[in-house]
Structure 1
Amino acid sequence: MSDSPIIGGGAMLQPTPFHRRTAALNLVNAWERWQGHTTVTTFLSPEDEYFATRTAASLYDVSPMLKYRIAGPDAEAMLDRLMTRDVTKLKPGRALYGPWCDGRGRVIEEGTLFRESAASFRLNAAEPQLFWLEDCAYGFDVTVEEVTDAIAGLALQGPLAKRVLEDIGLGEAARLPFFGLGRFGFEGGEIEISRTGFTGDLGFELWIAPERAETLWDRLMAVADRHYLRPMGSQALNTLRIEAGHILINVEYVGANHALRESQMRTPDDLGLGWAVDPKKPGYFNGRRAIEAERAAGGPRRRLVGLDIEGRKPAHAAYLYAGRREVGQVTSACWSPVLKRNIALATVEAGYAEPGRKLKADVYYVKEVTQGRVEAAATVVEPRFYQPAHRRG
């Protein structure tokens, strides 16, 4: 694959700052679109990339992740009104994860907010949020700027991630606390590193100027064999994030500003993000009254749950039943190699969401030339299937 923009389906796709390096290693030429960029689906074997992450370390190009800088005297106040979490408690050099909602308490998206200094923040999002952020900034003394193309990103994930950083001279960064953020000297310049990730494992995200991206990649790959460090594509990442119980927009839910039907929208409590709504937070935030009213009325009608499903056939999009009653649907499913379990994330009616509840999953699967169907027993469990102790260590 060349370095030039890629034409396909009537849209021009841009290479990421790491494209020349990832293209050279993409032995099966497997690519996908991500926010106007071309990124790797798998380099050769999703299974190898998965096990590298769970047993050693992996690299995933997160450069297309949408990034917004919110800065100015009122940046804290504006973001505190935007998000359901208490942003006033977020100190410089720290990050938090949480949702932001519309006035009816429906989740627009969820993402990671980094506080780079007293008056400057960066918000990472999967879907475009510039117009919403600009609307929410009205009346505040802030500037909102999309900085996606100004920052290249690599996710370094896995139990050996700290050793990898130490091996390339970033030992101080390896000591960052969970959800910590810092700037460090690197190869005559600067790199920003956060103790964050989407795999549910120990990990870091490395943020650097695009013109220095290949230098970072080369330094990491120079020590790769010592740590079984492998580049990773999105197929392996999807299995990892399901094991971790991480939700994905347009999969577990549709953002409130894009949903075509009310049934596609979710509140934080629907998505298992009730912990990220701070009930003691002073003042107003978008959706507060609606969320509090729903809780006062008995809570959400639906809940995100985990499922243990019998057999080995992933229950992709399977409908769920309690007796003859349809009570929910699987949103994400996979066979977990490390847990040796058939697992899924699903949305079910609140009355059927308690752990231990027995349901039936209507599972369809592909045979050689036909489609098969099986009714599989499913048990409701907590959605965070894999939580290694070293993740926070």
Structure 2
Amino acid sequence: MTRAFDRNRLADAKPAVLAPLAETPFHPRLAALALTNDWYDWAGFKAPASLADEELEYFAIRSTAALFDLSPMTKYCIAGPDAEAFLNRLTLRDVSKLAVGRVQYTAWCDDEGHVLDDGTLFRLGRDAFRLCCQERHLPWLLDGAARYGVTIADETEAVAGLSLQGPVSCALLRAAGFAGIETLKPFELRAFPHVAGEVVVSRTGFTGDLGYELFCPAEEALSLWDRLAVHGERHRLRVIGYSALNRARIEAGFIVANADFITADTALREDRVRLPDEIGLDWMIDPAKESFNGRRAILAARETGRLRHALVGLEIEGSVPAPLAIVYHRRKREAGLITASTWSPFLKKTIAIASLERPFGVGVVDDLWTEIYALHELAYSKLMKRVKIVPRPFLRLPRRIATPPADI
């Protein structure tokens, strides 16, 4: 039976571009704190860039405790008797080595070895996993799973997430009744009782600091928020937006999909895609692992020297950040592009992540410059600043891995 064409119904339909952004389960609490009204679109969700003061939000990460809404992050539930085999075929790292109750930072590629995304893989049980990432991949995942005994479900909306970061984050969780949280090791996860269900807490984060990520059913989100907020004032807890988090993640040297590299399925030009070795993920690859997406192409590129790019850390002289600035060799020849940059209050330096065209960043590492256009009083000043290649992460904090964390 063919459905009749209804012009009136079509006229009343709201164009997708005008559809309002979705609100996360924590939005009522965020909206009450959003003095700046500074929102942005994160994967179709309304998310805060800042809530009150970006500087204070950053210093909460490094000095006390900071709370960030992770709910818009894409989350897939992957389960079934072949879940391990499927994920081992999909991702770069060896999933058979991932124990139950552990988390693995990983990435996955297309058949040509180009990176599709990076993310975290949580092993919740023998045959149950949660894959968290930046982009949406459900059709591609389902196609790849056709021959495996596995089910894949998008649980982005069903599962709410919070990131609690900072030197007093462990003390706050302990005060909130998460008994034994101080024994949780980096990249370890554990379920804790909450209301009639549970909260899964992992010792992970995107700041390079002591921190945790908490996941619960969306319907229990506000009760989880309030459970933490009760102890927030005593522990100087501050809710933060992405601007502060982004500054901390640059200090930690972490990369962001479609910011520091273009994902293979969104790149419009062939020369925009990246192999794992070209974005600093070469350490993930074990040539002894027999089969994973892109293996043949990745190893062939290594053998034939077809690696064209290098992702590097930079220190920039002066105090002016240089996001999306061009890097030059000897002030003349273009060597690459700065993908992320910030002034680090902790390090008292201007730092950056840059994608350079080889041999720059590998064989050629000296006499590099960047061109910055600094805005002062309605006028731009062109600045040529020397840059120096330095290791990432820029910031290493012993408390990030100390177990148990210091009792603050």
- TM-score if structure 1 supplies the norm length? 0.95
Q: Which runs of structure 2 are paired with 1:1-393 in the superposition (5 Å)?
A: 9-281=17-289, 283-298=290-305, 300-323=307-330, 324-354=332-362, 357-393=366-402
| CA shift for structure 1 position 9 | 4.7
| CA shift for structure 1 position 188 | 3.9
Distance 1:227 1:8 in 2: 42
The structure whose Rg is larger is 2
Q: Identity over the aligned pairs, expressed in percent?
A: 45
Aligned to 1:4: none
Distance 1:251 1:90 in 2: 28
| CA shift for structure 1 position 299 | 6.0
Conservation of the 8 A alpha-carbon contact between 1:173 and 1:184 = no
Distance 2:133 2:74 in 1: 5
Task: Call closer, same or farther: CA 1:19–1:46 in 2, change over 3 Å.
Answer: same
Structure 1 stretches of 5 or more lacking a match? 1-6
| CA shift for structure 1 position 136 | 1.2
Conservation of the 8 A alpha-carbon contact between 1:26 and 1:43 = yes
Conservation of the 8 A alpha-carbon contact between 1:199 and 1:237 = yes
Distance 1:14 1:352 in 2: 43
Which amino acid letter does the alignment assign opposite residue 285 of structure 1? F
Deviates more, 1:364-373 or 1:132-141: 364-373
Structure 1 stretches (4+) deviating beyond 4 angstroms? none
Deviates more, 1:335-344 or 1:366-375: 366-375
| CA shift for structure 1 position 327 | 1.0
- TM-score if structure 2 supplies the norm length? 0.92
SS in 1 for 2:20: strand
Please give the per-residue CA displacement for 1:46-85, whole angstroms capped at 9, x wherever unaligned.
1001001011110000011110011111110000000010
Please give the per-residue CA displacement for 1:301-331, whole angstroms capped at 9, x wherever unaligned.
2110011101111112111111222111100
Q: Provide the aligned C-alpha RMSD in A.
A: 1.5
Which amino acid letter does the alignment assign opposite residue 396 of structure 2? Q
Structure 2 stretches of 5 or more lacking a match? 1-14, 403-408
Distance 1:222 1:41 in 2: 24
Distance 1:144 1:49 in 2: 36
Deviates more, 1:93-102 or 1:290-299: 290-299
Distance 1:200 1:357 in 2: 28
